[in-house]
């Protein structure tokens, strides 16, 4: 995940994620919801370049660039990624400064490829990469469990990205992590509607109409992933938030309906939306479906696959395709 470029800078790859199983178990007393979900990392990724500054004034110079047709912006519309203190990258850096009393200036350059408000965990992954990279640059020697504890303060999905496992069962708010093994690459096609969703609105919709439905066990899909049985995994895909999300977003409903017409083994919405994915028989099939999704004019499209452990160390450019 972390590659040293020289003594003053590191390069990190921050992968996206998918939820292959997402069960909502109920609302907690703190207002959040207890979840049980299977998350997998993808080859689609953001890149962070971290450099040490000369001074020790606790300054953070944060810049963001866009390297994907997912981020088509022009002079009349603001960038979709905030570069102020509300960004999770800056929050992660500040948290680490405060916790460890580290004051060395830092420059952070984020190259953004993962779409926002998509349920792909881009912001969470960027925050985790920031914690890991600064732990190295500042020579803090914090352990993985210590970094995960800090990550949990930033967001529910952030702890999942701290370690190098490809997949995990995450419980609670997402901070209780049980790594699981995965066989196979799982060729994937992703599509994000041009209109997004509010996560609180999706959970509220679930609470109002779907909270009394019976829960599904995570064990069958865990076993299928471990055995590399693509067809079984595809059959077991489940997201308790998909129906309420579809009711809130007509473009999402159009997109999921279109996916179900394709000859793919399985399809699902990830997280609280609004991105959907299809598990394909091959990369050729995934590439052939891209123009069909693009022609519908309701979604942006990306072809990718799972991101395995062997690819975490060092920088590897993602072998994905995007279509505006």
Are residues 210 and 155 part of one domain? Answer: no
CATH number, residue 272: 3.30.70.890
Domain range for 88? 2-71+84-180
Contact 283, 187 (CB under 8 A): yes
Q: What is the pTM of this model?
A: 0.90
Q: Which residue has the tokens 């570069």?
A: 83
Are residues 195 and 48 part of one domain? Answer: no
pLDDT band at 323 (very low <50, low <70, confident <90, very high): very low
Are residues 94 and 165 part of one domain? Answer: yes
Active site residue 41: no
Are residues 198 and 174 part of one domain? Answer: no
Q: Tell me whether residue 144 is in a domain.
A: yes
> If you average pLDDT over residues 183-199, what whole number do you get?
90
Looking at residue 70, what DSSP letter applies? G
Q: Which of 180, 214, 240 is the last residue of a domain?
A: 180
DSSP string, 198-254: -HHHHHHHHHHHTTTSPP--SHHHHHHHHHT-HHHHHHH-EETTHHHHHHH-HHHHH
Tell me which H or E stretch contains 283: helix 283-295
Q: Tell me whether residue 126 is in a domain.
A: yes
Number of domains in the chain: 2
Q: Tell me whether residue 315 is in a domain.
A: no
What is the per-residue pLDDT for 173? 83
Are residues 159 and 213 part of one domain? Answer: no
Are residues 284 and 174 part of one domain? Answer: no
Give me the catalytic one of 91, 126, 157, 205: 157
Q: Tell me whether residue 215 is in a domain.
A: yes
Are residues 127 and 35 part of one domain? Answer: yes
Residue 257: both structure tokens together: 């309906």
What tens digit of pLDDT does each residue of 233-262 get?
Answer: 999 999 999 999 999 999 999 999 999 999
Q: Which residues fall within 8 angstroms of residue 131, CB to CB, at 6 or more apart? A: 92, 95, 96, 147, 150, 151, 162
Report the distance separating Cα 63 and Cα 202, nearest Å: 31
Are residues 241 and 271 part of one domain? Answer: yes
Give me the catalytic one of 17, 41, 91, 205: 17
What tens digit of pLDDT does each residue of 119-157 get?
Answer: 999 999 999 999 999 999 999 999 999 999 999 999 989
Pick from 207, 161, 144: nearest CA to 40: 161
Are residues 289 and 215 part of one domain? Answer: yes
Q: Which of 161, 180, 199 is the last residue of a domain?
A: 180
Are residues 6 and 153 part of one domain? Answer: yes
Q: Tell me whether residue 316 is in a domain.
A: no
Are residues 208 and 124 part of one domain? Answer: no
Residue scoring higher pLDDT (89 or 199): 89
Q: Tell me whether residue 322 is in a domain.
A: no
Q: Tell me whether residue 119 is in a domain.
A: yes
What tens digit of pLDDT does each residue of 89-104 get?
Answer: 999 999 999 999 999 9
Active site residue 17: yes
Q: Which of 158, 180, 202 is the last residue of a domain?
A: 180
Q: Tell me whether residue 324 is in a domain.
A: no
SS percent in the chain: helix, strand, coil, step 5: 35, 30, 40
Q: Is 276 helix (H, G, I), strand (E, B) or coil?
A: strand
Are residues 206 and 138 part of one domain? Answer: no
Report the distance separating Cα 276 and Cα 128, nearest Å: 24
């Amino acid at each position: 995940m972390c590659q040293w470029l020289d003594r003053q800078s590191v390069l990190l790859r921050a992968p996206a994620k998918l939820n292959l199983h997402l069960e909502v178990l109920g609302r907690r007393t703190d207002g959040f919801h207890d979840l049980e979900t299977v998350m997998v990392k993808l080859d689609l990724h953001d890149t962070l370049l971290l450099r040490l500054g000369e001074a020790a004034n606790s300054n953070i110079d944060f810049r963001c660039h866009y390297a994907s047709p997912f981020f088509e912006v022009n002079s009349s519309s603001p960038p979709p990624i905030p570069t102020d203190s509300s960004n999770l990258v800056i929050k992660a850096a500040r948290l680490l400064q405060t916790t460890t009393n580290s004051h060395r200036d830092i420059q952070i350059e984020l190259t953004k490829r993962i779409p926002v408000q998509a349920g792909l965990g881009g912001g969470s992954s960027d925050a985790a990469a920031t914690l890991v990279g600064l732990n190295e640059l500042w020579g803090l020697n914090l352990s993985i469990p210590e970094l995960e504890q800090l990550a949990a303060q930033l967001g529910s999905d952030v702890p999942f990205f701290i370690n190098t496992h490809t997949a995990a069962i995450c419980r609670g708010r997402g901070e209780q992590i049980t790594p699981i093994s995965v066989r196979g690459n799982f060729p994937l096609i992703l599509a994000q509607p041009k209109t997004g969703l509010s996560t609180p609105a999706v959970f509220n919709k679930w609470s109002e109409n779907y909270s009394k439905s019976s829960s599904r066990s995570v064990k069958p899909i865990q076993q299928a992933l471990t055995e590399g049985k693509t067809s079984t995994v595809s059959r077991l895909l489940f997201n308790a938030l998909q129906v309420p999300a579809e009711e809130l977003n007509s473009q999402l409903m159009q997109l999921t309906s279109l996916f179900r017409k394709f000859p793919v083994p399985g399809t699902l919405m990830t997280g609280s939306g609004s991105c959907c994915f299809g598990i394909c028989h091959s990369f050729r099939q995934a590439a052939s479906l891209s123009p069909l999704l693009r022609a519908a004019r309701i979604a942006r499209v990306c072809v990718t696959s799972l991101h395995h452990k062997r690819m975490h160390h060092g920088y590897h450019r993602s072998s994905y395709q995007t279509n505006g």
